[in-house]
């Protein structure tokens, strides 16, 4: 290729310049010539190669301007160190399955459940949407019925680029404002003020009913403890303090835990006390033959009162009396001296239940050495 650029002289002119430079050094020019050629000759080859590449690029640029098309050669791709396969980044797929939220018709009592289901879906499928815009459009397509016109207007503004939403949080806030009758926080606080405890529902069920309203109210722990204690009877509060080393809990989470613990203890005690409360029928033994002795009986016993030798046997026609405690014949329960054979009474069952409950509660109480001074 002809070199028409005067700023790039041919190699022959460079050699002439080198000879003129060496002539100025006289006898020392021979070793200096070898040293300079070791640097200059490779440099001249590299410069010639760059000039050739520059000329080729100039020809390609002229062809692109003339035809208006450009083709990337495989050699150029290899020189850049980029492969077509590696240049395409695959979108990661979510392996977890998530349930799509139900359609939203705009009912105020369905706002919280709809948004909770949407938040759960987004948490389980974080890579399902490549941008906030896709997330907004996906959520708005779930609106139906009376809420569909509202959502359609929002979709049109997003597609036109005039939407006021920058993030999903902005859309969520607007949905609560547009479709909720009152603020969820205010509703929860009102529910806490009117909430009551029913003994039949149990402590665990009451805590499960109290807790969602407490979380939504954004009250402090002191306020939540006040509302909870206002609902619970004083006897339950005493039991909560007894299983907490005699101290009243200050954190609402500790109240939740101890209430559920007491409910579990009561349920266990009820299972232990599943015994029949009615009196069992006494066991009747066959009458035994009394043993007679030659010595006269000089001392009366409670079961055999003293009788006069001339007294008439007015009770001879009556049947032998049976003890209702031990089941033996010959005495009544009032004079029974055999307590080990007594039958189970309803009062005994009640006493057993109290002992079972006390044992179950003491199992969760700390040992005496864990108490501080004055707390025993």
CA distance 342 to 325: 5
The listed range with the strongest mean pLDDT (139-143, 179-183, 322-326, 372-376) is 139-143
Mean pLDDT is lowest, of 146-160, 213-227, 316-330, for 316-330
User: CA angle, 8 as apex, 3 and 13 as ends, to 5°?
Assistant: 95
- For residues 94 and 280, the model is more confident at 94
Which is more confident, 147 or 59? 147
pLDDT 10s digits, 17-55: 667 766 666 656 566 666 666 667 777 788 888 888 888
1-10, 89-98, 124-133, 188-197: least confidently modelled range: 1-10
Q: Contact 362/263 with Cβ under 8 angstroms?
A: no
275 — pLDDT class (breaks 50, 70, 90): low
The mean pLDDT value of the chain amounts to 75
**Between 342 and 141, whose confidence is greater?**
141
279 pLDDT more than 60:
no
Beta carbons of 170 and 128 less than 8 angstroms apart: no
**Residues with Cβ < 8 Å from 330, sequence gap 6 or more?**
287, 288, 303, 320, 321, 323
27 vs 333, which has greater pLDDT?
333
Which has the minimum average pLDDT: 49-63, 87-101, 135-149? 87-101
**Per-residue pLDDT, 7:** 47
Q: What is the pLDDT of residues 190-208, one digit of tens each?
A: 889 899 998 788 889 999 9
Per-residue pLDDT tens digits for 236-246? 898 888 888 88
pLDDT at res. 335? 81
Q: Does residue 345 register a pLDDT over 50?
A: yes
pLDDT of residue 53: 87
Q: Which residue has the higher pLDDT, 284 or 336?
A: 336
């Amino acid at each position: 290729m002809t070199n028409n650029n005067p700023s790039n002289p041919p190699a022959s002119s460079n050699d002439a310049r080198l000879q003129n430079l060496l002539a100025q050094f006289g006898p020392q020019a021979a070793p200096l010539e070898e040293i300079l050629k070791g640097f200059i000759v490779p440099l001249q080859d590299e410069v010639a190669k760059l000039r050739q590449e520059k000329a080729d690029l100039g020809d390609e640029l002229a062809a692109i301007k003339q035809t208006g098309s450009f083709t990337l050669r495989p050699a150029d791709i290899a020189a850049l160190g980029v492969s077509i396969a590696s240049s395409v980044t695959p979108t990661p797929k979510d392996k977890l399955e998530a349930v799509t939220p139900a359609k939203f018709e705009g009912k105020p009592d369905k706002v919280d459940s709809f948004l909770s289901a949407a938040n759960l879906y987004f948490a389980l499928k974080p890579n399902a949407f490549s941008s906030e815009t896709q997330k907004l459009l996906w959520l708005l397509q779930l609106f139906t019925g009376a809420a569909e016109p509202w959502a359609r207007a929002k979709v049109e503004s997003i597609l036109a680029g005039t939407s006021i939403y920058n993030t999903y949080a902005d859309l969520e806030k607007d949905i609560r404002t547009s479709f909720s009758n009152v603020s969820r926080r205010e509703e929860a606080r009102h529910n806490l003020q009117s909430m009551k405890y029913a003994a039949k529902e149990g402590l665990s069920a009451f805590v499960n009913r109290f807790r969602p309203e407490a979380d939504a109210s954004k009250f402090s722990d002191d306020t939540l403890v006040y509302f909870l204690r206002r609902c619970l009877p004083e006897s339950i509060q005493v039991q909560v303090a007894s299983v907490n080393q005699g101290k009243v809990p200050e954190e609402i989470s500790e109240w939740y835990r101890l209430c559920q613990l007491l409910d579990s203890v009561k349920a266990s005690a009820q299972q232990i006390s599943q015994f029949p409360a009615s009196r069992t029928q006494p066991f009747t033994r066959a009458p035994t033959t009394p043993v007679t002795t030659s010595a006269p009986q000089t001392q009366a016993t409670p079961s055999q009162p003293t009788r006069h030798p001339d007294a008439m046997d007015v009770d001879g026609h009556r049947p032998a009396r049976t003890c209702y405690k031990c089941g033996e014949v010959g005495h009544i329960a009032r004079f029974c001296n055999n307590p080990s054979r007594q039958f189970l009474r309803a009062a005994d069952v009640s006493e057993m239940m109290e002992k079972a409950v006390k044992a179950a509660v003491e199992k969760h109480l700390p040992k005496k050495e864990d108490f501080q001074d004055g707390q025993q």
